[in-house]
Amino acid sequence: MNTTRPDLLVVGSVAVDWIITPTAEREESVGGSATFFSMAASYFASVRLVGVVGHDFPQQTLKDFDDAGVDRSGLEIDPEGLTFRWKGRYHENMNDRTTLETHLNVFERFDPRLPAGHEASEYLFLANIQPSLQYQVFEKMKGPRLVGMDTMNLWIDIARDDLIKMVSKVDVLTINEEEARQLSGEHNLVKAARAIMKLGVKHLVIKRGEYGALLVDHDGHFFVAPALPLEEVFDPTGAGDCFAGGFMGYLSRRGVTPNGASLRTAMIYGSVMASFCVEGFSYDRIRGLSIAEIQERFHTFARLTDFSHAHLLD
């Protein structure tokens, strides 16, 4: 990777989670879409984080942001409020989870404010917040080179019109399998992808958890990235956001090439960062990685799908 580090702005949630898995539990596990995205993307770009937390937010995480080179001047700290908190329990298969508690706290009144200069960021990722807020941020930007966004089933249910309006403006939409089916009304993923592309999406990424991710580019070409086979998934929270961080981070370095090669490579870097994420609680495994570790895992992914020496039938 070259050493140029463009500005990548992310707007989204910063939270404190209580995670319960079949084998372990952590009561104060820092999470939130913008947190995971920022820590993963920080290896590729100069990340600018916009979000809100309360006075109870861990000081150690603020230091971790600083150590990772994340610009947190857009992270509002409400001295009177409490941080967004979520409690969830993962089932035995680690794919399904049950929400036990949700306390929006200061996030309920989140009104994204961009510090001076942030509106000129070259790259923008609108993490999972209300579509109306995503659009509000988008309108403030001064011609970013690439805009990505994420969403969730709640917004598909209660803010569909705002969501579709926002979707038509972005370059990359990242959603999971369930959301793709819900948004499109199609169960088959290929049909779902085709239907979503008709909404004006330029590039679509459907995240499929342990089954990898599916890319549909602006020409309608499909590309499938694998997930790394792991004997144990420790905590899947934030894996999709780390995928987005690796994906957008790489694209901020390379741009979208005409032949789509950079999009396919970005899919693998997204999978790389997601694979690190699930090996620990919170962003524990994402923090302090070396470029050599990231590159070695990239090559591991490349080997998973390498059939260049295969032979056709005689």
**C-alpha dihedral over 287, 210, 207, 269, to 10 degrees?**
40
And the tokens for 281? 């609680």
Alpha carbon distances (Å) from 21 to 25, 90, 203? 6, 5, 34
In-domain check, residue 312? no
Does 241 participate in catalysis according to the annotation? yes
Q: How far is CA 215 from the centre of its chain?
A: 14
And the tokens for 205? 């990424």
Residue 62, phi then psi, degrees to nearest 5: -60, -40
pLDDT in tens, the chain (314 residues): 445 689 999 999 999 999 999 999 999 999 999 999 999 999 999 999 999 999 999 999 999 999 999 999 999 999 999 999 999 999 988 878 999 999 999 999 999 999 999 999 999 999 999 999 999 999 999 999 999 999 999 999 999 999 999 999 999 999 999 999 999 999 999 999 999 999 999 999 999 988 999 999 888 899 999 999 988 889 999 999 999 999 999 999 998 887 889 999 999 999 999 999 999 999 999 999 999 999 999 999 999 888 877 777 87
Amino acid at position 240, single letter: G
> Using CA atoms, how far apart are residues 277 and 237, in angstroms rounded to an integer?
8
> Using CA atoms, how far apart are residues 264 and 216, in angstroms rounded to an integer?
10
Q: What's the CATH code of the domain at 21?
A: 3.40.1190.20
Other C-beta atoms closer than 10 Å to the C-beta of 121 total 24
In-domain check, residue 44? yes
In-domain check, residue 311? no
For tokens 């420790």, the residue is: 234
In-domain check, residue 155? yes
> Using CA atoms, how far apart are residues 121 and 148, in angstroms rounded to an integer?
13
> Using CA atoms, how far apart are residues 213 and 90, in angstroms rounded to an integer?
21
Report which of 175, 85, 74, 87 is spatially closest to residue 121, judged by C-alpha positions.
74
> Using CA atoms, how far apart are residues 33 and 242, in angstroms rounded to an integer?
8
Report which of 133, 116, 117 is spatially closest to residue 13, judged by C-alpha positions.
133
In-domain check, residue 13? yes
Report which of 163, 152, 160, 37 is spatially closest to residue 99, judged by C-alpha positions.
152
In the set 111, 217, 241, 314, the catalytic residue is: 241
Going across the sheet that includes 172-176, the strands are 71-78, 46-54, 7-11, 123-126, 146-150, 172-176, 203-207, 213-216, 222-225
pLDDT at 2: 43
The angle at the Cα of 272, spanning 233 to 190, to the nearest 5 degrees, equals: 90
In-domain check, residue 2? no
Number of domains in the chain: 1
And the tokens for 133? 């807020």
Residue 175 pairs in a beta bridge with 206
In-domain check, residue 60? yes
In-domain check, residue 190? yes
Range of the domain at 91: 7-304
